[in-house]
Amino acid sequence: MLRALVSQIDRYLVGDSSVRELEAWLVAHLQSTLDSGDRRAVDLANQLDADLVELSERLIDEDGLRARLDARRRQSEAIDIGTAVVAKQRVHASSIQEGAANVCVVVGGTGSPQNVTLRAAHVFA
């Protein structure tokens, strides 16, 4: 479900669909997304729904919506790394985001977010 939702957001961001088409897709697929049990897809769908409500109420403009969706799309690509050991304490990290050289930001650990110095490098394909 997450991939399908991100794909629809991408289509909107590159101009292949309108905000109304994105909203129609979300409405048509919201229940199946909620039923999927895919926590990341559910979270993204809920955030998108809230963003669309704010747009309709003119609390944000379409440029603001695009900026939010671009950030949310990038965040959805973060990788669940499970449990990590940080400063000799075990914490659960729901995702990492690229930071400065040899540093990542752990999101969802104890406290939020934390900068962690990496002692090893890993290259993702």
pLDDT by residue (tens digit) across 39-86?
889 999 999 999 999 999 999 999 999 999 998 888 876 654 444 444
Q: Is residue 122 part of a domain?
A: no
Note whether 100 and 56 are same-domain residues.
Answer: no
Note whether 70 and 17 are same-domain residues.
Answer: yes
Query: What's the pLDDT at 78?
Result: 62
Nearest CA among 6, 97, 17 for reference residue 43: 6
Q: Which backbone phi and psi does 2 adopt, to 5 degrees?
A: -60, -45
For residue 92, what pLDDT band results from cuts at 50, 70 and 90? Answer: very low
Query: What's the pLDDT at 93?
Result: 47
The pTM is what? 0.62
Q: Is residue 27 part of a domain?
A: yes
Count CB neighbours of 104 within 10 A: 21
Note whether 68 and 34 are same-domain residues.
Answer: yes
> Based on the structure, what is the number of domains in the chain?
2
Pairing label, strands 103-107, 114-117 = antiparallel
Note whether 19 and 60 are same-domain residues.
Answer: yes
Note whether 64 and 98 are same-domain residues.
Answer: no
By residue range, what is the domain housing residue 52?
A: 2-76
